[in-house]
Chains A and B, each alone.
Chain A
Amino acid sequence: MAVTRTATNVSAPGGGPQLRRFLQRHPGVMRLGVVLVIFIIWEIAARFLMDPDFISPPSVVFTSFGDLFTTEGVLSALGVTLYELAIAFVISVAIGVGVGLAVGLSRFAHKSFMPIVLLLYGLPQITILPIFILLFGINAPSKIAFGVSHGMFPIMISVAAGVQNIKPILLTSARSMGAGRWHILRYVIFPTMIPSLFAGMRLGMTGVLLGVLLAELYVSTAGIGYFTSVFTQNLQPTKLIGLVSLLATMAIVLNEVVRRAEVHYARWRD
């Protein structure tokens, strides 16, 4: 079944046939153009139409990054957040792979425990965020724990699924050549699992980002949450937007790193 686009090829707007043709061949450039237009609208609205107490234009935000960094504690808060993200991710992978393998390798274990895993994954974890804070305190451990709690499930599920899908002929073949349990784990199961693992890690990174950042925002007495709260209350939109933009950039970069890794390590699978 050929699923092709039903849309017609409407040509891009723009003055002059040269520009038009260029934009048509490079939708990526047009995309940048769209983003630019949004920034321009923001600039105009913030500068002329809205209350400067509540919003800042991008030009001001951009040029004031220096102020943000010199504000005491901001840089270290960002550093701590990055540290939390890294640790939470590593732990999520460790737990995700461990449980994923355990559940995926045994058909019985899979049937018994996977429904529980899926059930837990679907719960709105944000409701128990206050409990995490009460249990682990207002510093890094609670943010890491909450991040792990979000990030480990997609990895668990992906790894279990990947392991379940091993072609039986590969196991038979390895057995026939004398492979013992350890050999099979290391040379057959593990490589099979890698593409699923990386797909799971991509979702896991998204989860870790969500968990850690939510926890950070919730705790308004320390870390990033302290600063977002302070900047909001003191009507400092420039710094607030700057801070949030930095966090967003951090998130985009981390996501992209994991995505690239996934593409690289799943090369042989097509």
Chain B
Amino acid sequence: MTAEIAIQARNVSHQFGEAGEARHVQALLDTSIDVARGELLCLIGPSGCGKSTLLNVMGGLVTPTTGSVTVAGKPVRGPMPRDLAFVFQESALFPWNTVFENIVVGMTFQGVAKSEREDRARRALRAVSLEQFAEHYPGQLSGGMRQRASLARALSLETGILLMDEPFGALDEQTRMVLGEDLSVLLSRSQKTIVFVTHSLGEAVFLADRVAVFSARPGTIKQVIAVDEPHPRKPSFMTAPKFHALRDQLYGLLHDEIRKAMAESGQTRRRYDDVANGADA
């Protein structure tokens, strides 16, 4: 694949708080990676390893302490709503709007012409098979449907890049599998670049073209593994020997890092998670 670079991260380091302060945390240390256009790159690693931080840095939500990121050739200095769209783990749908209204609002923010909004919204809902629930409120939907609605909102923005932060993390395994298959189908139909943060080894191998494995905190990319399998991936891929081999390889790389992360004090990790999730934004 001719590698046209969609996202380029160079020597990104990020810390929360000043050195010496009680809440100081070195989230990322000197991380670099290129994301090719049209590929699905998974970021995986133990808790607190900075994968979400890297995603936020790529998306312009966090300015890194050092290092830089370029998206589609442009340096990232803040949110770039025309180039990238986020899907978060927590439902970021506005509870006071219906699903349809939520999608329209996103386009209002981005600056889409009024006349186009409704059509785009309907198309996005069709893409995730949620047309029947357009007039429902998020509170009336299951977790899986909410995340599909969040995905629809991101799709309606018609960006080249999707940044997904553990979007299926709060869902049960069966829903995860089905949504993962749908995502794979979507990927094969569009040319979108996706950066996908996950905890799940199986999910990473099933979805990704490449998997970037993080070390424990202070996080940096330990190794990048390629998954050579075309999209759309069938459920049968999950029983293939290649799948298991890759999964084992991932586990081998992660095992020690996970232990290391668990040995750290729970308190520091919790504070880091609060800060990383924007509580202090």
Which residues of chain A come closer than 8 Å to B85, judged between CB atoms? Answer: 176-177
Would you call the interface of chain A mostly helix, strand, loop, or mixed? helix
Q: For residue B106, which residue of chain A has the nearest CB?
A: A177
Question: Which of A4-12, A44-52, A163-171 interfaces with chain B?
Answer: A163-171
Per-residue CB contact flags for chain B residues 145-186 toward chain A (1 = under 8 Å, else 0) read 000000000000100000000000000000000000000000
- Is A174 engaged at the interface, CB distance under 8 Å to the other chain? yes
Which residues of chain B come closer than 8 Å to A176, judged between CB atoms? Answer: 59-61, 79, 81, 84-86
Q: Of A170, A178, A191, which one neighbours B109 at CB under 8 angstroms?
A: A178
- Is B110 engaged at the interface, CB distance under 8 Å to the other chain? yes
The interface on chain A, measured as residues whose beta carbon lies within 8 A of the other chain's beta carbons, has a size of 23
Q: Of A173, A187, A270, which one neighbours B88 at CB under 8 angstroms?
A: A173
- Does the CB pair A175–B96 fall under 8 Å? no
- Is B230 engaged at the interface, CB distance under 8 Å to the other chain? no
> Given that A174-B109, A175-B79, A179-B109 are known contacts, is A169 also in contact with B92, CB under 8 Å in the complex?
yes
Which residues of chain B come closer than 8 Å to A251, judged between CB atoms? Answer: none
- Does the CB pair A178–B82 fall under 8 Å? yes
- Is A183 engaged at the interface, CB distance under 8 Å to the other chain? yes
Which residues of chain A come closer than 8 Å to B92, judged between CB atoms? Answer: 169-170, 172-173
Question: Which of B67-75, B188-196, B273-281 interfaces with chain A?
Answer: B273-281
Per-residue CB contact flags for chain A residues 250-270 toward chain B (1 = under 8 Å, else 0) read 000000000000000000111
Interface contact tally, CB-CB below 8 A: 69
Which residues of chain A come closer than 8 Å to B137, judged between CB atoms? Answer: 268
- Is A129 engaged at the interface, CB distance under 8 Å to the other chain? no
- Is B95 engaged at the interface, CB distance under 8 Å to the other chain? yes
Which residues of chain A come closer than 8 Å to B90, judged between CB atoms? Answer: 167, 169
- Is A23 engaged at the interface, CB distance under 8 Å to the other chain? no
Which residues of chain B come closer than 8 Å to A183, judged between CB atoms? Answer: 108-109
A residues apposed to B, CB below 8 Å: 167-180, 183, 187-188, 191-192, 194, 268-270
B residues apposed to A, CB below 8 Å: 59-61, 79, 81-82, 84-86, 88, 90-92, 94-97, 105-106, 108-111, 137, 139, 157, 277-279, 281
What 8 A-B pairs come out closest when comparing CB atoms? Answer: A178-B81, A173-B92, A179-B109, A177-B109, A168-B278, A191-B96, A176-B86, A172-B278
